A and B are shown apart, each in its own frame.
Chain A
Amino acid sequence: MSINATLIGQMITFALLVWFTMKYIWPPLFDSLEERKKKIADGLAAAEKGQEEILLAEKKAKGVIKEAKLQSSEIVNLAQKRANDLIEESKDTAKQEGERLIVAAKAQIEQEIQQAKEGLRQEVADLALNAAAQILGAEIDKAKHQDIISKVSKQLG
């Protein structure tokens, strides 16, 4: 149990070990630790930021939804109004059309009545003339008595 040259050998070994640790072992490992620490801190910060953004986005989305609801109800109202208008309009159109049809029909009926009257008048005149001719024989000249005939036929109308 005595101090001897082993001491010197051990000191050299120790110095070498410390030097090697200081130069090649401590820095890379410690740096990687520090870097990871930074990464984790950054990650946490990013997560927090993300959460905040989610909250913000949720708020925004709620606003958008609200606005959309408002807009949609407005659109529905408008559409309803427009539909009512359309219905009113078509009702009017239909009424007008009906009236127009009625008027046209009436006119046609009138015309037809007139035509029929005219026809009848003509026929009656002819008949009357025929009858008169037969009664009076050939005494009545058609051209001569045109005035009288037309007067009569007017009285018939």
Chain B
Amino acid sequence: MATEAHAAEGVTGYIIHHLTPLHVGEGFWTLNLDTLFFSAVLGGLFIWFFKTAAEKATSGVPGLVQNFAEMLIEFVDNQVKDSFHGESKLIAPLALTIFCWVFMWNFMDLFPVDILPLIGSMMGIEYLRVVPSTDLNATFAMSISVFCLIIFYSIKIKGPWGFAKELMFQPFGPWLLPFNLLLKLVEEIAKPISLALRLFGNLYAGELIFILIALLPWYIQPVLSFPWAIFHILIITLQAFIFMVLTIVYLSMAHEHH
């Protein structure tokens, strides 16, 4: 991809340049350094903020930091309570992490498309794709982790045999076993794929539109990018929210007996 970006100049070159990650390695063992770096930094920021709040947590009058952290905690907790009726120490912190982390990934989209790559290029970094959620690896990493948890909890709660029975005998009873199995497998596998692709697609398209707007003459740019950015504030929150809620729903389905 790097060579293509060099070859293609002009508009296409600009776009491809913006959507090419900074990477090392070849084939599968390629590492997208920008995705890893930005998501780690954002994750660190998330941890730092909440750790600060948690250290100062008091049941008395909360400070500004604690107030904000508690607002998020309560919001997530309500979501979890609404759709999940089991007992789990993992699911609420998981949902909080997903919501905040995805939101911060997406938030990177609101930085002007050229500013961070420009700073990067000043430091000798040729490619920089700053929004981790425009990288399929990031979104799939999260959704596959969630998928693993779904499988883990399905087996843990229903037992291996119970889970296998559910895969084989539902929804049409034992006489249509292969058909059931196929249907169930598709249903299960569709979960991580839809989670990852929904987030990726939304953010990739959003970023692409920002890039296209950046290609227009400067006097048209604000007229278009301002409303799009405002609209995007909704999108990034919504996508983070959807990812979180679907995770909770999937995990609560894994906890339920049919």
Contact = CB atoms under 8 A, between A and B. Distances in A.
Interface in A1-53: 1-11, 13-18, 20-22, 24-26, 28-33, 35-36, 38-39
Contacts of B94: 18, 21-22
A28 B59 CA distance: 10
Interface stretch (B40-48, B181-189, B233-241): B40-48
A9 B31 contact: yes
Nearest to B32: A6
Interface in B108-156: 132, 135-138, 140-142, 144-145
Contact of A14 (B25, B96, B142): B142
Contact of A4 (B43, B51, B137): B137
Nearest to B101: A17
Nearest to A31: B57
A29 B73 CA distance: 8
Contacts of B96: 21, 25-26
A107 B74 CA distance: 112
B252 interface: no
B249 interface: no
A3 B93 contact: no
B89 interface: yes
B250 interface: no
Interface string B55-67: 1011110100010
A25 B50 contact: yes
A35 B62 CA distance: 12
B26 to A, nearest CB: 9
Given A5-B31, A25-B47, A26-B93, A13 B140 contact: no
Nearest to A9: B36
B230 interface: no
Contact of A13 (B30, B36, B74, B77): B36
Contacts of A1: 19, 136
B97 A4 contact: no
Contact of A11 (B43, B70, B144): B144
B31 A17 contact: no
Contacts of B32: 4, 6
B35 interface: yes
A10 B58 CA distance: 33
Contacts of A26: 73, 92-93, 96
Interface string B154-187: 0000000000000000000000000000000000
A25 B27 contact: no
B45 to A, nearest CB: 11
21 contacts: A1-B136, A2-B30, A4-B137, A5-B30, A5-B31, A6-B23, A10-B35, A10-B137, A11-B141, A18-B93, A18-B97, A21-B94, A22-B94, A25-B50, A26-B92, A28-B55, A29-B73, A31-B57, A32-B57, A32-B62, A32-B70
Of all A-B residue pairs in the complex, the 9 with the closest CB atoms, nearest first, are A10-B141, A35-B59, A6-B137, A22-B93, A32-B57, A26-B93, A4-B30, A6-B32, A21-B93
Interface of B: 19, 23, 25, 27-32, 35-36, 39-40, 43, 46-47, 50-51, 53-55, 57-60, 62, 66, 69-70, 73-74, 77, 89-90, 92-94, 96-97, 101, 132, 135-138, 140-142, 144-145
